[in-house]
Every structure is written in structure tokens, then in C-alpha cells.
Amino acid sequence: MTHPLEAQILDLEERLCRAMLTSDVRALDELISPDLIFTSHLGQVVGKVEDLELHRSGLLRFQTLRPAEQRIHLEADLAVVSVRMKVSGVFGTSPFAEDLRFTRIWRQSAPGAWQIVAGHSSPIQG
């Protein structure tokens, strides 16, 4: 049986994927903490402002976000999510397709209100 908090985090992860696929900046703004630190699979570190601008400008457009092998660890007001994700889309004018492992840390900022405060992605070889 799924813990109620785990179900809530799974729902947030689904909302995040939908927002990324549609570049829904309003939804992303709600889901991402102003304190975000995200390290990409290329080693680039971006914050919330940069992340939202990638979507707002259309520079980054996701076409596929297919999750698998998802794990969630709950700890007080934090949730750590590790998920393998098939990702494809266009960055600028360059198409991409990657198999990545994401780690995201969700923090509860108020009762029932969760935001991503940190994240990291790594390529999966093979």
C-alpha cells in the first residue's frame, strides 16, 4: 500500500512532467522553489529563474518524458525522488534524445505545499 505522502509526491512528479512537456511556466513556478539548485547532465548549474526562462523563451521544448524505475524516500519535510527518464525534445534548433537518471529533492514549504529545492541529472550509459 502506498503511503499518502508518497502518493502526493508521485502526483507532484506527474504534474512536473506535464508542465515540462507543455512549457507551462505558471505550473513550473508553483512547483519549483526560488532556492532551486539544479545540476544538468552536462554539469551546468541553473536556478529557478534560468529554468523558467528556458521554457518561457521556447529555447527548451520537451517532446517525451517517460519515467521508469522510480524510487521515493520520505524524511520529515523532505522527499527524495530518483527516477530513470527517457527524454527527448529540442534545445534551440538541436534535437536531443537521452536516457537520464534524475534525483529531485522536494521540500514542504507549508502544509500540503511542496517545491523542488534541488535536482541533478546523469546520463545512463548502455
Summarised one tens digit per residue, pLDDT across range 28-68 is 999 999 999 999 999 999 999 999 999 999 999 999 999 99
Whole-angstrom distance, CA of residue 7 vs CA of residue 53: 30
pLDDT at 1: 54
Percent over 70 (pLDDT), the chain: 98
- Cell 541533478 belongs to which residue? 120
Report all structural domains of the chain as residue ranges with CATH numbers, in order of start.
4-123 (3.10.450.50)
> What predicted TM-score, i.e. pTM, was given to this entire model?
0.94
Residue 107 burial by CB count (10 A; 0-12/13-18/19+): exposed, middle or buried?
middle
First-last CA distance in the chain: 33
